[in-house]
Amino acid sequence: MGFKMGIVGLPNVGKSTLFNALTRTAAAQAANFPFCTIEPNVGEVAVPDSRLDTLAEIAKSKSIIPTRMTFVDIAGLVKGASKGEGLGNQFLANIREVDAIAHVLRCFEDGDVTHVEGRVDPVADAETIDTELMLADIESIEKRLQNIVRKVRGGDKEAVQQERLMRKALEALEAGKPARVVEVDEDDAKAWRMLQLLTTKPVLYVCNVGEAEAAEGNAHSAKVAEMAAAQGNSHVVISAQIEEEISQLEAEEAEMFLEEMGLKEAGLDRLIRAGYELLHLETYFTVGPKEARAWTIKSGTSAPKAAGVIHGDFEKGFIRAETITYEDFVSLGGEGPAKEAGKMRAEGKSYIVKDGDVLHFLFNT
């Protein structure tokens, strides 16, 4: 499993340019007018991980299969979207379907690119979208509270739980805070997720800067960094224009171009890594002569659940997981030497898979 990240932001902040770069395609029309992205464009990208190449080289794997991440380029939002302004209703429906939000903020000055509000203020832009999402959640909760009144009066346990959680969310939202600040007990976690509130989505602020500012950022991105830190959210600084140029180059050319720009790595790598951290995701590997493959799991996933990512039968019939750490696999030169050195462990159902584990699952059919 990878995860699905929705690219959102006001019109003309560089969402579609970034999407084009990330998916190495021109499928999303990048144009200098609002709502050029009418339908959400969906693209999958391979998650870059140098560890996978190293493992494949040691095991002499015939093919390399990275894990994948899905990006959804969602139509531009404007003030009043919670009331259906612009493409508001469509925007709000599409955003419910993603795991996290990559909120692209304009942090570049360019008189040739129109800003929908006529100014460059990324913090104000962020507040505009946050406000619209909060207003949409408030409206949704108020409607649902009305719909479950009878069930609550009748003592329906599920309805009582829903009402309690919705009122907690409403209290935060009416205080101008997103629903994600609400602390939820483990017993309520599933019911909380089922509410599908927009402001429970984790947010990664993407500061889109000019080419000359890609390495260090600028005053605009510094303000976003302060805002993100205050909220407990993450941010990355990227030049969507540079990323689009890199996406058209061969690997060696791209490396030289990055070096010339004073960049250690592509923005895509930083964006995905930040997204992984945001959603508490990890990677484990399966390695053999046929293929070396990466798999994405949530941090804290048990061995049977990790096996289930490959196939449901692996989880149902799980016996044990033969485990080698990435470091041992590499330093000792592969599975055989690691096994001889006593570095292969047999782990049972209670084992929590670690990032970088090289696993082989044994299961009953």
Question: Domain residues for 333?
Answer: 300-363
Residues 217 and 355 in one domain: no
- List the one residue out of 300, 293, 296 whose CA is nearest residue 275: 296
Return d(Cα 55, Cα 359) in angstroms, integer. Answer: 12
Instruction: Give pairs for 87-91: CB < 8 Å, separation 24+.
Output: 87/35, 87/38, 88/132, 91/8
- Asked whether residue 261 falls in the same domain as residue 113, the answer is yes
| Same domain, residue pair 216 and 345 | no
Do 208 and 348 lie in a common domain? no
d(CA 119, CA 142): 34
Instruction: Specify the DSSP element, H or E, that contains 325.
Output: none
pLDDT score of 316:
93
Q: What tokens were used for 277? A: 């951290």
- List the structure tokens of 233: 């959210």
Q: What is the helix (H) or strand (E) element at residue 360, kind and residue range?
A: strand 358-363
Q: Residue 2: what residue type?
A: G
pLDDT confidence of residue 90: 62
Q: What does the chain come to in residues?
A: 365
58 inside domain = no
Do 335 and 251 share a domain, yes or no? no
| Prediction pTM value | 0.81
Q: Is residue 255 part of a domain?
A: yes
**Is residue 33 located within the same domain as residue 94?**
yes
**Cβ atoms 302, 282 nearer than 8 A:** no
* 79, part of any domain: yes
Q: Are residues 36 and 93 in the same domain?
A: yes
Tokens 């970034």, residue?
18
Question: Residue 33: its pLDDT value, please?
Answer: 38
Same domain, 208 and 347: no
> Assign residue 49 a region: left if phi > 0, alpha if psi is -120 to 50, beta otherwise?
beta
Please give the Cα distance from 136 to 129 (Å, whole number). Answer: 11
CA dist., res. 147 & res. 141, Å (int): 10
Number of domains the chain contains: 2
- Tens of each residue's pLDDT in the chain, 365 residues: 558 889 888 888 888 888 888 776 434 333 443 333 435 577 888 888 899 999 999 999 999 998 888 888 886 555 554 455 444 456 677 788 888 999 999 998 876 665 656 678 999 999 988 888 899 899 999 999 999 999 999 989 999 999 999 999 999 999 999 998 899 998 999 999 999 899 998 899 999 999 889 888 999 999 999 999 888 888 999 998 888 888 888 878 888 888 888 888 888 788 888 888 888 899 999 999 999 999 999 999 999 999 999 999 999 999 999 999 999 999 999 999 999 999 999 999 999 999 999 999 999 87
Q: What angle do CA 96, 295, 20 make, to 5 degrees?
A: 55
Do 96 and 126 fall into the same domain?
yes
- Tokens 């029309």 sit on residue: 29
pLDDT given at position 346: 96
> What secondary structure letter does DSSP report for 186?
G
Same domain, 217 and 318: no
Distance of CA 334 to the CA centre of its chain: 32
**Is 222 among the domain residues?**
yes
Question: Token digits for 324?
Answer: 């080698």
Establish if 181 belongs to a structural domain.
no
Residue 16 located in a structural domain: yes
pLDDT for res 348: 96
Are residues 27 and 111 located together in one domain of the fold?
A: yes
Mention every residue, 6+ apart, whose C-beta is less than 8 A from residue 77. Answer: 8, 9, 10, 11, 86, 87, 88, 91, 128, 129, 132
Distance CA 243, CA 22 (A): 8
**Nearest alpha carbon to residue 133 among 204, 80, 74, 75:** 80
247 and 128, same structural domain? yes
Q: Give the pLDDT of residue 91.
A: 64
Whether residue 257 contacts residue 329, with contact meaning beta carbons closer than 8 Å, is answered with no
